[in-house]
Amino acid sequence: MSVAAAELPTMSRAGVATNEATFETLRLRLNAGLRQIAFMVVPSAAAFLLIGDVIVALLFQSGQFSHADAIYVWVILAGSAVGLLAATMSRLYNSTYYALSDTRTPLRFALIRVGLTLILGYICAIELPPLIGIAHKWGVAGLTASAGVAAWVEFSLLRFSLNRRIGWTGLHRTFLARLWGIALAAAAVALAVKYSFHAGPRLKALAVIPAYGGAYLGLAYWMRVPELQRLIGYTMARLRPREPR
């Protein structure tokens, strides 16, 4: 959300004109922003999927909130991971449309997403559990997963419509595969720590989550992911003491 908000002013200045040079500027800004978003959101989605129980336990597991409750919330988190990347990238596409003074197109696609969320949510939360023989309470995970599917539909419509207007935008599959590979490798490290570290839920979380984050950032640094290099450069520039005037 912060990337989308930060890019809007620059895109709006570029979007005043409608020539090819302007479209090239918009494509460059949009694609760079998508890469930034993916670099942060892919590991978040992977964490929700694979170590969500540890995250929930850190925040909530105490008193009457048991390990079984943490597993239940983990399933809901895992469902939300389905559309996390699509939902966040769609916000940046919305900013691009706003920069082009077009608010109707994203509104139209948002209405489609809301309608799909209602229909799919009802099917997955109410109708599907008895059909596949599971308890009704697990249908709540169908709400988050179906909302994720609807988010992917909205994202696809936004991207297809904008690509017809300004040219190709999006993420290359190799880049996404690289990020998911790093995230899954980091998750393997976190799971190894999880099953070898015997302690209470909060102490275990304080070992597992930093291991996951450290492994992800370490592998990204080793593989020279440009988004991390840019983030390190920006952070160092901010920490560098300024010379007195």
Which DSSP state fits 241? P
Q: φ, ψ for residue 197 (rounded to 5)?
A: -105, 115
Per-residue pLDDT reduced to its tens digit, 91-109:
999 999 998 889 999 999 9
Polymer length of the chain: 245
Q: What is the pLDDT of residue 152?
A: 98
Q: What is the pLDDT of residue 48?
A: 97
Q: How far apart are CA 200 and CA 229, in angstroms?
A: 36
Model confidence at 204, in pLDDT bands (50, 70, 90)? Answer: very high
Burial of 189 (0-12, 13-18, 19+ CB in 10 A): middle
Q: What is the pLDDT of residue 21?
A: 79
Cβ neighbours of residue 219 closer than 8 Å, sequence gap 6 or more: 182, 185, 186
CB-CB neighbours of 81 under 10 Å: 21
pTM over 0.95: no
Q: What is the pLDDT of residue 102?
A: 92
Q: What is the pLDDT of residue 55?
A: 96
For range 35-64, the mean pLDDT: 95
Q: What is the pLDDT of residue 236?
A: 78
For range 106-135, the mean pLDDT: 95
Per-residue pLDDT reduced to its tens digit, 12-43:
776 555 677 788 888 999 999 999 999 999 99
Q: φ, ψ for residue 204 (rounded to 5)?
A: -65, -40
Q: What is the pLDDT of residue 6?
A: 77
Q: How far apart are CA 156 and CA 147, in angstroms?
A: 14
